[in-house]
Amino acid sequence: MASGTLAIGGLSVSYGKAVQALREVSLVVPEGAVTAVLGANGAGKSTLLRAISGTLSFHRGAIEAGEITLGGRRLDGLHPAAVVAAGVVQVPEGRRIFGRLTVEENLRAGALGARDRSGTAAARKRVLELFPVLAERAKQRAGLLSGGEQQMLAMGRALMARPKVLLLDEPTLGLAPLMAERIGETIAEINRQGTSVLLIEQNAALALRLAHTAYVLEVGRVTLSGPADELAASDEVRRRYLGVGGEEELQPEFRRPPTLERWAG
**Model confidence pLDDT, tens digit, residues 1-46:** 677 899 999 999 999 888 899 999 999 999 999 999 999 999 999 9
161 has pLDDT over 80:
yes
Q: Can you give the pLDDT at residue 255?
A: 39
- Environment class of residue 114 by beta-carbon count within 10 Å: exposed (0-12), middle (13-18) or buried (19+)? middle
265 has pLDDT over 50:
no
125 has pLDDT over 70:
yes
Q: Can you give the pLDDT at residue 94?
A: 82
Beta pairing partners, 185:
none
Strand 34-38 to 213-218 pairing: parallel
Query: What distance lies between CA 14 and its chain's CA centroid?
Result: 21
Backbone angles phi, psi at 14, to 5 degrees: -135, 155
Domains of the chain: 1-87+163-242 (3.40.50.300), 95-162 (no CATH)
105 has pLDDT over 90:
yes
Q: Please state, as a whole number, how many other Cβ atoms lie within 10 Å of the Cβ of residue 10.
A: 12
How far apart are alpha carbons 105 and 93 in whole angstroms? Answer: 21
222 has pLDDT over 90:
yes
Q: Find the range with the poorest average confidence among 59-68, 170-179, 246-255.
A: 246-255
In tens, the pLDDT along 67-78 reads: 999 999 999 999
Specify the higher pLDDT residue, 213 or 244: 213
Q: Please state, as a whole number, how many other Cβ atoms lie within 10 Å of the Cβ of residue 201.
A: 26
Q: Name the band, by pLDDT with cuts 50, 70 and 90, for residue 79.
A: very high
DSSP secondary structure, 120-189, as one string: HHHHHHHHHHH-HHHHHTTTSBGGGS-HHHHHHHHHHHHHTT--SEEEEESTTTT--HHHHHHHHHHHHH
How far apart are alpha carbons 250 and 258 in whole angstroms? Answer: 15
Q: Can you give the pLDDT at residue 81?
A: 95
Mean pLDDT, range 212-238, rounded to an integer = 95
Beta pairing partners, 199:
36, 168
3-state secondary structure (DSSP) of residue 237: helix
Residue 256 DSSP code: S
Q: Can you give the pLDDT at residue 249?
A: 44
3-state secondary structure (DSSP) of residue 242: helix
151 has pLDDT over 70:
yes
Residue 43 DSSP code: S
How far apart are alpha carbons 134 and 103 in whole angstroms? Answer: 7
